[in-house]
Amino acid sequence: MRISALLGLAALLAQPAQALLCGTVLEPVRVTTAGLNFGSYFPGASSDLQVSGTLKIDCGALNADLLPDFTVQLSNGNTATPSLRYMLKGTTRLNYNLYTGPGYGTVWSTAAGQVVSFSTVLNLGTINIPVYGAVFKGQFVATGTYTDSITVMVNY
């Protein structure tokens, strides 16, 4: 009798766990970032200018629920293809790219094999995801501020 009562309680407790997942109309998954700032670029440098930033994925205002499994994609920005992104100052281009890891080997985009997946079993509320960027050396361009806008897509 005691075992069945414990199993009944466990089953009762297990069912509401699904309601604790964020990613619903009542509590959508939220993405925030401070942007990726490359700082000053020197075209005569011996290596690419490499920086990193963070995407924060969380459960919104309450931030107390469990994140669902999800993938993160990054748009192409100014270019039609993510294989070579560029920032613009007027019509002048400064080539760069965004990567999934610190080895700067896999471009982060929407293409197959270039999407980051997260299985978030029991991850409460927030995940900080690093983003790696590189401006390629040897680009002699006019001084000024170069920009690009990247859309972050979280699919769950």
Query: Which of residues 16 and 82 earns the better pLDDT score?
Result: 82
Statement: residue 52 has pLDDT above 90:
yes
pLDDT tier, 9 (very low <50, low <70, confident <90, very high otherwise): very low
Q: What is the pLDDT of residue 64?
A: 65
Contacts for 18 with CB less than 8 Å, ≥ 6 apart: none
Structure tokens at 128: 């900080």
Answer whether 30's CB lies under 8 Å from 57's CB: yes
For residues 145 and 60, is the Cβ–Cβ distance under 8 A?
A: no
Give yes or no for residue 3 having a pLDDT over 80: no
Integer angstrom CA distances of residue 35 from 32, 51, 129: 9, 11, 13
Question: Cα separations (Å) of 3 from 6, 9, 30?
Answer: 5, 10, 42
Question: Domain 21-155 belongs to what architecture?
Answer: Sandwich (2.60)
* Confidence (pLDDT) at 18: 44
**What are the tens digits of pLDDT across the range 107-118?**
988 776 677 887
Q: Is the dihedral of CA 112, 36, 134, 97 positive or negative?
A: positive
Can you tell me the distance from the alpha carbon of 136 to that of 43, in angstroms, rounded to the nearest whole number? Answer: 8
Whether the full predicted model's pTM is greater than 0.85, yes or no, is: no
- Residue closest to 116 by CA, chosen among 41, 60, 57, 65: 57
Task: Report the share of the chain in percent with pLDDT over 70.
Answer: 78
- Specify the pLDDT at position 144: 96
Mean of pLDDT over the chain: 80
